[in-house]
Chain A
Amino acid sequence: MGSKLFALVRRELGAYFSSPLAYVVLTACTVVNGWVFFLIVSYLNDPRTAPMAAFKLLFGGTIFFWLLLLFVLPVITMRLLAEERRSGTLEVLLTAPVTEFQVILGKFLASLVFYLFLWLPTLAHVALLARYSPLEWGPVVAGYLGVALLGSMFLSMGLLTSALVRNQIVAAVFAFALLVVVFSLGLVEGLVTAPTWKGVLSHMNLWSLMDDFSRGLVDTRWVIYPLSVTGLFLFLATKALEASKGR
């Protein structure tokens, strides 16, 4: 069981790193994160700024962070199942003695590893900051945790759309739409007046989630929410894959 899953993850990662898209995405992320880092440095150079504000910028404090997630994650997940269905390799995979859930989990884990790999260059930014200014490690660690949790939630959604269609671009567009809806739930919170709905929406507000994490605050509900959404979407993707067999 474990070795089959490992083989699936490894093949998927191999596919990521042998496609030009991976390097385009990697470049885009490095550029955007570099730009955010430049903003942080400018901020820190401003005598009126408190040093603490820096990590709010790195993790979710700028629109660039969210744009990156909303645009890049659908690109990461779009080919996962759509491409296998189009090329027919899915037929080989699903007639091998692996379960549909193993296939989904393997693809999810590979995309998560690739996503986290995209964040690796930002460790250099953190190291630079640590070198030239007093650094609190709590917000850094919590910030990366938030990045990982948000990523897993968005990736599982992208995986579902890729399981539903055979065209990568369609999968990416659907995923983008889905992410935008989930992301904007946080914006709706401010517009709703009914206290019950306000309460429900406040638990889904991804802005607050990243805000807390980037201040070094790890609230269990902010851990449970993305994890349970991930679980739900992996389950849905498994069901979609089972239902779409042979199509």
Chain B
Amino acid sequence: MIEVEGLTKRFVDRDVVADVSFFVPEGEVLGFLGPNGAGKTTTMRMITGYLAATAGRVRVAGHSLETDPLAVRASIGYLPENVPLYPEMRVEEYLRFRAAVEGIPRKLIRSRLDEVVERCLIAEVRRQVVGTLSKGYRQRVGLAGALIHKPPVLVLDEPTVGLDPRQIVKVRELIAELGREHTVILSTHILPEVEQICRRVLIIDGGRLVADGTPEELRGALLGDAELHLELDAPQAEATVALRMLDGVGEVKTESDGTFRLVLEGAVDPRRQVFELVVARGWTLMEMARSVPSLEDVFLRLTTRDAAADEEAENTRKKAVADNEEAIEEVGYGQ
């Protein structure tokens, strides 16, 4: 549904987005994850055609952005960051305007309007002036505007920013529901959001794609397996050997405070065996906890890297990002 190939955006002499390629099949909800200033918005703007790419190709719903930009624009429903709306218009008036600009025939506008108003739960404010709406309603009105022409693709740039927790839940539910009928690209820097609604995640950092996969794949591939944390009252050497012999335990590490860290392998859960072993040897078990790496760990590892290993590289990157933001500010691109 969405094909992006070698997409690059150069501002002044730095690549804000560098050689980004990915493919989104129909019906997928893709999370676009990255720290602030990583190039998420820039990438989305290039996909929607608002920003011309320095290099690379974009195809949406079979149309090439280069040769048929209007067809690409017609197949995308786009909700930019900060949800720009016309403050002087009434909600219904605004949605009618969006519908007309999207080329919906006059006779169909009424029914489409009723549909999106109901779907985005904005019936109670449909006669209200946009400028007087709360942030949560603004977000939903923007979403309704992006949906009004039933686009096959939805591009949502940070759709839950600035909402209160209850509104965030509502908007997420709505997006998850939309994912059943539309192909969705969603950018965010909030991790639980991605884990909840996205089937696939792209992580972008410093303008480059650093990871691509389902949340589970990313966890497994990038952080290894789960770990078991043990606090035992037992002779250390003996316990290390015995624990190592258990099924499903890959490696046993002893920490300086006398606790054990067991790296788990495969699908076997060795907790029962650990307990039985402890009882059989007459040791005392003070604590046992299993930890599964969260997407947060993956994200932090990917986007901050090993501080000791390449602190310098990191500083350079940060400076580049800061300079980019400055450059972007200068050309009046950021908000």
Contact = CB atoms under 8 A, between A and B. Distances in A.
Task: Decide if A and B are genuine partners.
Answer: yes
Interface of A: 3-4, 6-8, 10-11, 14-15, 18-19, 85, 87-99, 166, 245-247
A95 B48 contact: yes
Contact of A95 (B50, B85, B106, B333): B50
26 contacts: A4-B100, A4-B101, A10-B97, A11-B86, A14-B93, A15-B88, A87-B87, A88-B80, A88-B82, A89-B85, A90-B84, A91-B45, A91-B78, A92-B80, A92-B84, A92-B98, A93-B101, A94-B49, A95-B76, A95-B78, A96-B101, A96-B102, A97-B71, A97-B102, A99-B70, A246-B45
Contact of B86 (A3, A6, A89): A89
B335 interface: yes
Contact of A91 (B50, B103, B332): B50
Contacts of B82: 88
B74 interface: yes
Contacts of B298: none
Interface of B: 45, 48-52, 70-71, 73-74, 76, 78, 80, 82, 84-89, 93, 97-98, 100-103, 106, 145, 331-333, 335
B50 A98 contact: no
Nearest to B155: A95
Contacts, number: 78
B88 A92 contact: no
B101 A98 contact: yes
A37 to B, nearest CB: 33
B86 A15 contact: yes
Given A7-B100, A98-B101, A87 B52 contact: no
A7 B88 contact: no
Contact of A92 (B74, B87, B106, B145): B145
Nearest to B9: A246
Contacts of A99: 70
Most buried by A among B45, B82, B86: B86
Contacts of B45: 91, 246
A11 B89 CA distance: 9
B335 A97 contact: no
A245 B97 CA distance: 21
Contact of B51 (A7, A97, A245): A245
A14 B88 contact: yes
B103 A4 contact: yes
A3 B107 CA distance: 12
Contacts of B85: 89
Contacts of A15: 86, 88
Nearest to A4: B101
Given A3-B106, A93-B101, A96-B102, A247 B332 contact: yes
A97 B73 contact: yes
A8 B101 contact: yes
Contacts of B102: 96-97
